[in-house]
Amino acid sequence: MATFTSMSFIFLLLLVLSFLSFIAPLVEDTLTRNSFPEGFVFGAGSAAYQFEGSAAEDGRGASIWDYFTHQYPEKIKDGSNGDAANDFYHLYKEDVKLAKEMGLDSFRFSISWSRILPTGKVSGGINTLGIKFYSDLIDELINNGLKPFVTLFHWDLPQGLMDQYGGFLSNEVVDDFQDYANVVFAAFGSRVKYWTTLNEPNLSAEFGYSLGLHAPGRCSDYMRTCKAGDSATEPYIVGHNLLLCHAAVVELYKTRYAYQKGIIGIVVSTNMVVPMNDTLADRLATRRAIDFNFGWFLDPIVYGDYPTTMRSFLGSRLPNFTAEQSTSLKQSFDFPGLNYYTTFYAANSCSYNSVNISYSTDSRAILSSYKDGVAIGESTPSAWLCIYPQGLQYLLRYIKARYNNPYIFITENGMAQKSNGSLADNPTILQDAQRIRYYNEHLHYLLEAIKEGSRVGGYYAWSFLDDFEWGSGYTTRFGLTFVDFNTNLKRYPKDSYYWFKNFLAQDPVMDA
């Protein structure tokens, strides 16, 4: 059980208080890859639905994101979808060449479950063309000196499983996910040594089942934006089944595929939180906000149960693990992957609504990027993302103290620009000085955390290419490489690409 002594609780509160030491960014022009430990891996990321396109090509089955974007285009800012995305499916060789030229050690991508199993089930048949695509991609990466870092599930559940039994709302999904992973490990495991089971299950559960803003678009009736759902219970049911999926696949990998000698983890969204005011109420709200965000998934895989704050606040709405499930979850990782973008202030909520109950308000903490009208850091085109690089160091201090200093990867870190036309219309579009500052300062604070003893094995920028950014569609660009969606999807490296290339142009990183 995830229990802590009162002294541990006081220590963590004091730790959170220390996050408020607002110090000037550590900017040193001398930072290079050689500043980091030997064997440290630098990479960039992608995801199947956001990158691949070719949604109905070569036997791929539909996913919930295909269905969602076509049925509810009003929930995508520009009404778009990932049918074509940036056509990584056809252009991956060009993109791998760009990644090699940049000097990356590794490339992170996800596998489309429905490209491997079109119905979501092994009994529905394995798509050999899907197997061939990922096999060719893996070979291309390895032949270009890039380590494949593979995520099994990045939000694109096969629609067939949603239709058949409600997808992650049913624990039937656990066996199907394990069967899918078995096919993938058997096909690619001899060449892939870095695996993650799930990407940001906390956000998938929140945005898909509490807010209804992402696939499958479920939320309570009172929100008047969803046709079905229950924001008070479904996020926790889905989160529970996602955790059981993770544990089942890790057990499979550790038993049947141990001979492949890879490592496996889970990727969690971990935006940091600091108290709005130096009061006990806001410090407690900060702790709750953290627990309801990433403690929701990290506590079970470290300690075997949900945070005690969630148990006490949610009661019967939070599912229970059996003793066997708790044992299988405990320490079910070689590493957690942490996706960090920004930090928020947390204030205690004094107006909890006991009628319209929702995961989004259950923590009774109000999160904001602003205090007294002043942003926590430099603003960006994404309203939710202010640049607060020291938050990454605070996060790693917290992870080290709360979870016994696990070996970790920073699996996403980045910021977006507005999408403003084609290169021909806007020749300055490749000049992304703000993104360069963002990466430079975050890498400095990451290095400081490593010097403090955090065990970090690698860092992945998000994202390698401009892509389909979920509810934002193509209105924002996170890429190091510009994709001209108006002109044959042509790729143009941005200034940040060349900044990273210069940063990485040192002695090669040794094999991890």
Q: How far is CA 3 from CA 24, 253, 306, in A?
A: 36, 29, 9
How many other β-carbons are positioned within 10 Å of the β-carbon of residue 48?
Answer: 27
The residues annotated with a catalytic role in the active site are 412
Q: Which residues pair with 196 in a beta bridge?
A: 151, 265
Structural contact between residues 294 and 307, judged by C-beta atoms closer than 8 angstroms: no
Query: Which residues, at least 6 apart from 271, have a Cβ–Cβ distance to it below 8 Å?
Result: 293, 340, 341, 342, 343, 344, 391
Residue whose pair of structure tokens reads 């003793």 in the numeric block: 323
Place of tokens 């500043």: 35
Please, are residues 242 and 198 in contact by the beta-carbon 8 Å criterion? Answer: yes
Q: Which of 255, 128, 218, 117 has the alpha carbon at shortest distance from 176?
A: 117
Task: Report the phi/psi class of residue 330: left, alpha or beta, with left for phi > 0 and alpha for psi in -120 to 50.
Answer: beta
H helices present in 36-153, as ranges: 48-51, 64-71, 88-102, 113-116, 128-143
Beta strands, E only, 270-420? 272-275, 335-339, 343-348, 365-368, 370-371, 374-375, 378-379, 386-387, 408-412, 417-418
